[in-house]
Amino acid sequence: MNYRHLTPSMSLLLAFEAAARHESYTRAAMELSLTQSAVSRQVQALEQQLGLTLFRREGRQVQLTDVGRLYQREMSEALGRIRSATLQAMAYQSGSGTLRLATLPTFGSKWLLPRLHDFYKTHPGMLVHINSRIDAIDFETSGIDAAIVVGNADLPGLISHRLHAEEMMVVISPQAAQAHDAWTPERIGGQILLNVANNPNVWGEWFSHHRLPHRMMRLGPSFELTSHLIQAVRAGIGIGLVPRILVADELASSELISLDLPFASQRSYYLTYPPRNEMLPSLMAFRTWLLEQI
């Protein structure tokens, strides 16, 4: 077997990977600073070398064939490992590094960023670029090295480190809290209940925990960001059920009042990343520091 035949040049592979990801020679050309015809020629050369039809061409449009999609999936992962290995070598040589970290917006602003200065004190040559993300991270296409997410431990294909169990607290504004002397679970359950869109069942869990009938639940507005829900609670719009670590400052300053004992949800916070990034120097340093914070 001719192994050179099975190892196309990097220029051909990069052209194919970009064209496959965009399903467009034009956008691939813009990304690679090439002409559209150059990308087309490189893809055709790759097809001839492999003896495969990777794209269907319909006028000016191109679409991956089934074998092209299979090749893209394997090739994208391989190129990702090559890029990761290069970054690791460069970071090791320079004694510094860059970490591209995705995190939940409110967790990032309320918990991570106030502590990050401590990381820079001990790792002055490293940079952590923060990306706020709510949706699931595609590590193959996003350029993200690691992410802090909330959910359960079922994250197939990824390495995960549990950071915090999610403890929820019922909170209300001080002005609204004065409306009643005794805030029993029954009284709380009869109020307008605010929630976050990515955790729609949490009030149901709280009602079950207190053995309250779900039919009495009065769900109010839903918010994409926990920080917006916190502001809505402060404004007196309703009662919130929010992670304890995200309202610690407001509780300490009496901007919010807690009406109930912490309630353990079914979720936790995790640091997660693909196995290929496990030995990335910047991630190793950040992971060690982060777990020490916990």
pLDDT tens, position by position, 228-252: 999 999 999 999 999 999 999 999 9
What pLDDT score does 38 carry? 94
Q: Residue 246, SS3? A: helix
pTM for the full predicted model: 0.67
What would the pLDDT profile of 161-210 be if each residue is shown by its tens digit? 999 999 999 999 999 999 888 899 999 999 999 999 989 899 999 999 99
Q: What is the mean pLDDT of the chain?
A: 89
Is domain 10-90 annotated with CATH 1.10.10.10?
A: yes
**Whether the domain at 97-163+269-293 and the domain at 165-264 fall into the same CATH topology:** yes
User: DSSP 3-state assignment of 240?
Assistant: strand
Q: pLDDT band at residue 52, thresholds of 50, 70 and 90? A: very high
Residue 281 CB burial class (10 angstroms; 0-12, 13-18, ≥19): buried
Domain ranges for the chain, please list them: 10-90, 97-163+269-293, 165-264
Tell me the fold of 97-163+269-293: D-Maltodextrin-Binding Protein; domain 2 (3.40.190)
DSSP 216: G
Say what percent of the chain tops pLDDT 70.
Answer: 95
Tell me how crowded residue 83 is: count the other CB atoms within 10 A of its CB.
Answer: 12
Nearest C-alpha neighbor of 245 from the set 164, 159, 135 = 164
Closest CA to 76 of 125, 14, 5, 121: 14
CA distances from residue 207 to 51, 210, 222, 231, 254 in whole angstroms, order as listed: 62, 5, 18, 23, 26
3-state SS class at 192: strand
> Which pLDDT does position 88 carry in this prediction?
61
The span from the CA of 15 to the CA of 30, in Å, is 11
Residue 2 pLDDT grade (very low, low, confident, very high; cuts 50, 70, 90): low
pLDDT confidence bin for 93, thresholds 50/70/90? low
Task: Characterize the bridge pairing of strands 218-223 and 192-196.
Answer: parallel
Q: How many helices (H) and strands (E) does the chain have?
A: 12, 11
Q: What is the mean pLDDT of residues 56-79?
A: 87
What's the CA angle centered on 195, arms 191 and 197, to 5 degrees?
155
Non-local (6+) Cβ contacts of 86 within 8 A are none
How many whole angstroms separate alpha carbon 200 and alpha carbon 105? 18
Q: What is the DSSP string of 111-141?
A: IIHHHHHHHHHH-TTEEEEEEE--SPP-TTT
| Domain 165-264 part of CATH 3.40.190.10 | yes
Contact criterion met (CB below 8 Å) for 194 and 240: yes
